[in-house]
Structure 1
Amino acid sequence: MSDEPLAIAIDSAPGASRRLVRCRLCGRPLTGADSRRTGLGPTCDAKLHPPAPDIRTRRHEVEQDALPGLEPSAG
């Protein structure tokens, strides 16, 4: 196996002029390497892929009756 990378990064070509890449959603020019690779700016990417809701904020304690047979015996 060779030590060459399998893919060439978008901005890695030395001396090559950077071609203008625009956001697929809003059309603004993209400057970041990740944005250029995905074709979406950070704002538009956040609109299409919102973060998952944090389920820990929805948890709450509920009062429950004791299970039959586990009640302390009065004796």
Structure 2
Amino acid sequence: MGDEPLAIPIDSAPEAEPGARPRRIACRLCGRPLTGADSRRTGLGPTCDAKLHPPAPDIRTRRHEVDQDTLPGMDPSATG
């Protein structure tokens, strides 16, 4: 994530006057104000970011055992 360009340049803001309120940055998807540094950096709130980038599905839950015929020469009852 360190190599990604910032959606909103946070550090390049001009020096603010003492007592001035910080610039409000809104979510690009829903428009709510962003407060966290990561959210301000990406331009998306945590909820909207989860909607656009859902977690990858766990493929381990889709695996199951399949009944199959025994391979020739692997039958344990036939001792030779």
Paired AA for residue 51 in structure 1 = P
2:30 to 13, 26, 51: 26
Q: 1:60 corresponds to which residue?
A: 64
- Between 1 and 2, higher relative CO (CA 8 Å, sep ≥ 6) is seen in 2
Instruction: Report the aligned-residue RMSD.
Output: 2.1
Q: Which runs of 5+ in 2 are unaligned?
A: 1-8
C-alpha distance in 1 between matches for 2:10 and 2:59? 37
C-alpha distance in 2 between matches for 1:18 and 1:65? 70
Q: Which runs of 5+ in 1 are unaligned?
A: 1-8
Q: 1:69 corresponds to which residue?
A: 73
Structure 1 runs of 4+ aligned residues shifted over 4 Å read none
Percent identity of the aligned residues?
80
Taking structure 1 as the reference length, the TM-score comes to 0.73
Residues paired across the two proteins, number: 65
Taking structure 2 as the reference length, the TM-score comes to 0.69
Paired AA for residue 59 in structure 2 = I
